[in-house]
Structure 1
């Protein structure tokens, strides 16, 4: 188990691992856990940070300026040790810089900072990428948080739903057996609502590379008052909102029948089928000029279940 750092607000407690700067726990004031348990028999992750690529490379490698380099799916940041550079009661900043190991597979000088801040019932994760080199640096970044499904006190797992902030009428993408993007298919979102079920993920993740929404609400079962009870209104369901103003793409994934669901804001994407591996032409890559930085915010807001009136 990696060393962790703990931060708190009056409503939430979060633990972040130094390995990967990964959020591994998010408890509410009652002690209920909102993240996946990271069972290694199912999926050992909790909320890995994807950098400097998102997804799979064609053939596991990329070409850049006449050389070829290998990178695993989602890059190397999730396996690296970050340095804790700042820690207060409700915040922490963890940092990864380039070294001989990273430069062997990613020939750029960079700093990746992950800032976690708890304020009330919200956790904000901020990734800041800085190019310390002399040349423009292409990169992608993504967030991969896995949440408990069903949510704490969320009722029937089959009655959970995801509500998109905007209408998502366009098609989605899937992955082939090599983890590469394949052709479009019809969206399962109806009137901004996606009702997840295990069979939806037998073909791996749902992927939006043309996303309108910049926030989602994941909520549990709405329980109506029983006939004859004194309660007049339905109880507010357990829910969380994830807002990602800087990420134009999204993946939703689980291992079929597992008790978690990943809601993954991305600024980058896997190679499409047939891509030739030239990094500077890879779909979803951004470019950062020498000395520049770019910031990506994701905020998770927790809404524990409430009793009806």
Structure 2
């Protein structure tokens, strides 16, 4: 565990999964879900897939490899590369353990930097092999809902930077349904309620915005912005839980009718040998 501090926020990161596991504001209020019984994680890193593959199998050059939902990075211990007062870097590289599930050479650097009331998380994926690296990556931070104890959940909404009126996608059995659905976003506003997640995650796969604000009319607020991500998931556990996840993604679950090579899967990045792909997001506490 390593803790970063500024005068406005405090963030703790653990080596297991390179996972953010605490985020407190200047008043000491915990803003991040504390991995309770409803869901045993805080902010898992999704790599090298986002969502599920059909039959939980990754196909490459005619062979199949076992690959469970959201990939393996969240369950691997990263190595500390840097540990400073306001930043840290963690690294995961391919190994015998990863290659039985994902037959590619890679290096994944995750860098956390704190400045004033902002926490920046940077992902750098390097293809260290000699063939194209197909990969997806996503963030999955779970924020307490409500952020201020005692407020009603329905007092909260997400406010996007741009209008998000295009249809959304939903899942069936963890796979992307073929048919899109009308968006629950009203212009720029997505009102939050437990019923919103009766049908699992809200997936915006034609994302116009590059930031969103999660807040009620008083109390702490969270503004998330991102670079390099092309989709956004919003999720809480169906049936009700005291968290809501705001998830920038590059990639998404397999379409229900897709069972081809992983490199051909919609939403997958193609990183050439020796090249690096950089993505990141920022949490600003208000």
TM-score interval, normalised by the smaller of the two chains:
over 0.9
Residue 113 in 1 paired to residue 109 in 2? Answer: yes
Q: Classify the secondary structure of the residue corresponding to 1:172.
A: coil
Instruction: Output one character per residue of 1:30-59: Cα deviation in whole Å (capped at 9) or x when no partner.
Output: 1100101110x2001110000001000011
Unmatched 5+ residue regions in structure 1? Answer: 223-236, 304-309
Q: What pairs up with 1:176-215 in 2 under 5 angstroms?
A: 176=172, 178-182=173-177, 183-215=179-211
Aligned with residue 31 of structure 2, among 34, 37, 55 = 34
Aligned to 1:283: 266
Give the alignment of 1:1-309 within 5 angstroms.
4-39=1-36, 41-152=37-148, 155-176=151-172, 178-182=173-177, 183-222=179-218, 237-255=219-237, 256-303=239-286
**With structure 1 as the length reference, what TM-score do the two structures score?**
0.90
Which segments of 5 or more consecutive residues in structure 2 lack a partner in the other structure?
A: none
Deviations 1:183-232 (A, max 9, x none): 2110000021000100110111000111111110001134xxxxxxxxxx
Q: Deviations over 1:92-145 (max 9, x none)?
A: 100000100101111111110100000000000001000100111010000000
Q: Secondary structure at the match of 2:227?
A: coil
- C-alpha separation between the residues in 2 aligned to 1:269 and 1:247? 11
Measured after TM superposition, the shift of residue 152 of structure 1 is 2.8
Contact 2:153 2:192 in 1 (8 A): no
Larger Rg: 1
Contact 2:126 2:275 in 1 (8 A): yes
Deviation of the 1:155 alpha carbon: 3.1
Q: Give the Cα–Cα distance (whole angstroms) in 2 for the partners of residues 109 and 290 of structure 1.
A: 9
- Taking a change above 3 Å as real, the CA distance of residues 74 and 88 of structure 1, as seen in their structure-2 partners, is same
